[in-house]
A and B are shown apart, each in its own frame.
Chain A
């Protein structure tokens, strides 16, 4: 295409799908009703570990309105699961956590379903339960799954370089233990599912999942049916952040629908949602870093212990990230890392934005500050010096195709005044009264990750130019509200010369959308975006060729200007809409289709886990300023500066919103959020006691800036953003609290009581 300035790329247009959300017209799964629809309720274990002796459903079956009652005996008995086949649709012989699914009801009203659920009598013989990962992994602890006598749900080990030489070269070794906690995703839309079992053995599952095709693989294997027997329909998603990847609920509801012979909908109340929430897995880190006197990192060791809970959702991939992703942010010279995930009698844990990377950085970025302090180096320069740079291949083989991290560091320093401003507040540091401090942290992330799906990486897209001139785009990566629909509309509009509002990005429906890896690992803009660029180009070329053949001219002589095409020599002209209409007429109704396939040149990891798994790596430098009330331990983030390299910013408005949202989640995580589990029971399953931050908890001043580089592997030079934005947050806040008080936060959240305790200890 021509080298003229882009019309839509880089424009901060409002989200093209926003109107329905502003007027209440957007129908989330809980807003959908279909004829004969029944309501579901689930009976859960109140015992953390035990043998099911008997289940009496007779009273429940007599409740008026009840149409189906299922127990494990009534559902397919096929072990399944995305990583480990330790899932069952309903518990069979044992329960393994408080909340484990034992039975399910479908009834004509939610009240009847719940009333019946309360009448199911389950006799459980309690078994000893284990809630501590180290205890779970100890030699004599009884297993939670007989298949894993050691309670190791997953293990990951990696080493690189000459570690012994690394330690020998180190003039300073810093080390420390750090723990990160369970974070509840806290999406405002509780989990819901609408399932319809069709008489021909097929199912339609309306599920707010952002990896519908990946989930379908799991669901089809659980039901023992071919993939194409399940139609996945993705409604608007009311937030997920990883929680709604692959859920168990669609299977339970599908079985209820099959048994009742009617569509069934399940929508959780907040309490149920939060009590069985599959939160971010908690990790314990033992980090060690060796550095020369000149400030060059030469060795790193890490040992990570995490909790999978009673069954394995996505925690193995998160563990792997926590162990080794940071080696592609910094060059550590040599490294050895190992990690284990313990089965415990607690709710399973799963993916959340940041995916182990933020967790690892919580400790690493604090240790790097400690190195700077002990070597008397500028913390920004120390980071710059050791960071992986554009054009380099890191020790695990990751290719940094673009990086503006050095410029991000410079801008973060300028904008925040760090560390000059830090020196200014120096006099205010201390352990009593009100104290202020500043802290910084950097981060990176991926833009897709090849090992997710064994069949393919990459993405495909279909542009459909209808006879009415309307443009549709089909991709398999659902929008979660992050603005992807808008960005894809901009990409298509840029290529076709129409306006973004003329482009309808269709919701994902496996009956018509291309198969896809899905929206995860910060991949959608990069991968679906590249596919959309290709599909748009294909559509434009096909249309141009069609017009050229109709006018009997050479296609290369046609010139497009926006939606108008002209042939200078003959003076003929047409429009996108008219040409599309002609195309459809000539092709007996077939709309003009443009197919786009994006095959990224990511690499399969070899036996040593070496290779480049992602096409592009985004970077971020964040600075936080905090105020600490040392008498109470209450900390507040009062200023925040975030500078990002996500390549070309396709839409500055939605990009900024991503960063601001991530900072809010980081503020919550660092200061107030924690799933409080005691003896396997969640004590705070509500928005009152599980505290996501409110407007009043956000800093009055947040500065977001983008250093725009060009990523050769992304659409129009763009790469990912969503997760890179949360990754530095908790470390930046922790470093700021250390700056303010001298207390080195070892655990998140740095909640008032915990910080107050630490201040007491340090004072004594």
Chain B
């Protein structure tokens, strides 16, 4: 039986990750949860864990630009791919347009769920879609918040989407 293709792995090993634009190597078992590796190995604790079951969206990160729940992804599946966490959205100390919109709309209370919302919305904005309120609500189907009642969050994302297009139109 051919063993060569199997890449049989268990125990901790070194895995290459590209996180927020930096190439890093982490020591982790392939089946470790991406969120745990980001938090515990890389210190990126902005990715929050609310349920570890994909129900709340607090752990949302972008993998190759797509919003996923990092509590459900084995780190091996992220190896070699581009991972963006909440810490990767600011550029040169300047807030990402979605972060700025959340600030403008006071779209946070306790703040625990907010990184997940912002990262999910960052994908929406990056896609260049201009969404109305109803579409934004639909785009938030994977995120739960217990404090705000969502309205300010929806307002912020509608706003952020709009700004995205304004810039495109202007350029």
Contact = CB atoms under 8 A, between A and B. Distances in A.
Q: Do A and B come from one complex?
A: yes
Nearest to A640: B149
B1 interface: no
B112 A187 contact: yes
Interface in A618-655: 653-654
A187 B86 contact: no
A481 B150 contact: no
A657 B50 contact: no
B97 to A, nearest CB: 12
B111 A18 contact: yes
A350 B118 CA distance: 32
B67 interface: no
Contact of A694 (B44, B46, B144, B151): B144
A15 interface: yes
Nearest to B99: A22
Contacts of B45: 24, 27, 30-31
The secondary-structure label for the interface of chain B is loop
A30 B141 CA distance: 26
A187 B146 contact: yes
Nearest to B56: A687
Given A239-B112, A241-B146, A698-B151, A23 B95 contact: yes
Interface string B49-66: 111110110100000000
Interface stretch (B72-80, B131-139, B161-169): B131-139
Nearest to B44: A24
Interface string A10-30: 001011001111111111101
A188 B58 contact: yes
A35 B56 CA distance: 31
Interface string A225-256: 00000000000111101000000000000000
Interface string B144-164: 111111111110000000000
Given A189-B50, A687-B55, A657 B110 contact: no
Contact of B86 (A24, A483, A698): A24
Given A188-B113, A238-B110, A270-B51, A22 B146 contact: no
A686 B146 contact: no
A664 B149 contact: yes
A480 interface: yes
A700 B150 CA distance: 11
Interface string B117-132: 0100000000000000
Nearest to A30: B49
A686 B55 contact: yes
Interface string A315-359: 000000000000000000000000000000000000000000000
A718 interface: no
A687 to B, nearest CB: 4
A664 to B, nearest CB: 4
A236 B150 CA distance: 21
A709 interface: no
Interface residues of A, number: 54
A25 B58 contact: no
A696 B142 CA distance: 10
B159 to A, nearest CB: 13
A566 interface: no
A65 interface: no
User: Which among A18, A21, A30, A656 has the highest number of chain B CB atoms within 10 Å?
Assistant: A21
A22 B50 contact: no
A43 to B, nearest CB: 20
A663 interface: yes
A481 to B, nearest CB: 3
B141 to A, nearest CB: 6
A696 B138 CA distance: 7
A23 B99 contact: yes
B146 A239 contact: yes
Contacts of A28: 48, 112
A481 B51 contact: no
Nearest to B95: A22
A687 B108 contact: no
B149 A238 contact: no
A18 B112 contact: no
Nearest to A21: B111
Contacts of A188: 48, 50, 56, 58, 110, 112-113, 144-146
Contacts of B70: none
Interface in B1-48: 39, 44-48
Given A190-B50, A687-B55, A695-B137, A657 B112 contact: no
A23 B150 CA distance: 19
Contact of A237 (B108, B110, B143): B110
Contacts of A24: 44-47, 85-87, 115
Nearest to A480: B110
A503 to B, nearest CB: 17
B146 A186 contact: yes
A91 interface: no
Contact of B150 (A12, A483, A695): A695
A665 interface: yes
Contacts of A653: 106
Nearest to B106: A653
A22 B114 contact: yes
A723 to B, nearest CB: 14
A732 interface: no
Contacts of A187: 110, 112, 146
Interface string A661-702: 111110000000000000000000011100010111010101
A657 B145 CA distance: 12
Nearest to A704: B151
A25 B44 CA distance: 9
A656 to B, nearest CB: 8
B103 A14 contact: yes
Contacts of A401: none
A663 to B, nearest CB: 6
Interface in A434-480: 480
Nearest to A189: B112
A14 B106 contact: yes
Contact of B55 (A14, A480, A688, A696): A688
A18 B106 contact: yes
A750 to B, nearest CB: 19
8 contacts: A24-B87, A185-B146, A187-B110, A189-B112, A238-B112, A482-B109, A661-B109, A686-B53
A-B CB proximity, top 5 nearest:
A24-B46, A21-B111, A481-B110, A238-B112, A660-B149
Interface of A: 12, 14-15, 18-28, 30-31, 185-190, 236-239, 241, 269-270, 480-483, 653-654, 656-657, 659-665, 686-688, 692, 694-696, 698, 700, 702
Given A14-B106, A22-B95, A700-B134, 6 more contacts: A18-B108, A236-B111, A238-B112, A270-B53, A660-B151, A686-B55
Interface of B: 39, 44-53, 55-56, 58, 85-87, 89-90, 95, 99, 102-104, 106, 108-115, 118, 133-134, 136-138, 140-141, 143-154
